[in-house]
Amino acid sequence: MAENNKEKADIGLIGLAVMGQNLILNMNDNGFTVACFNRTVSKVDNFLNNEAKGTNILGAHSIEELVQMLKKPRRVMLLVQAGKAVDDFIQTLIPLLEQGDIIIDGGNSLYKDSVRRAEEIEKKGFLYIGTGVSGGEDGARHGPSLMPGGSEKAWESVKPIFQKIAAKADGQPCCDWVGPSGSGHFVKMVHNGIEYGDMQLICEVYNIMKD
Amino acid letter at 157?
A: S
How do beta strands 34-37 and 102-105 pair? Answer: unpaired
Task: Single out the catalytic residue among 119, 152, 195, 204.
Answer: 195
Catalytic site residue 195? Answer: yes
Task: Single out the catalytic residue among 156, 188, 204, 210.
Answer: 188
Interatomic CA distance for residues 86 and 101, integer angstroms: 17
Q: Please, are residues 19 and 79 in contact by the beta-carbon 8 Å criterion?
A: yes
Catalytic site residue 188? Answer: yes
Active site residues: 188, 195
